Amino acid sequence: MTTQNAALSHDAARTPARVETMILMCVALFVALTALATWTWGLPALAMIALALVPVMYVVLILISVGR
């Protein structure tokens, strides 16, 4: 195994900690954007975000019931 191959295999591998960090950063960004939208436009922005997330929650509930 050459040095170049070792570097490529190291970059391609994603550790679970890195994936968890990415997920947590996405959640933090979503919460920050939700807070900013609510601060800017008030409760209508919060209601529209909740309405937009209804299909997402349906998918989550279906995946939970299937067992994935």
Predicted structure pTM score? 0.66
Q: Are 45 and 38 in contact (CB under 8 A)?
A: yes
Q: Are 37 and 50 in contact (CB under 8 A)?
A: no
The count of other CB atoms within 10 Å of the CB of residue 31 is 10
**pLDDT tens-digit map of 16-50:** 788 899 999 999 999 999 999 999 999 999 999 99
Identify the pLDDT of residue 30: 95
CA nearest neighbour of 56 among 46, 45, 64, 66: 64
Q: Are 34 and 49 in contact (CB under 8 A)?
A: yes
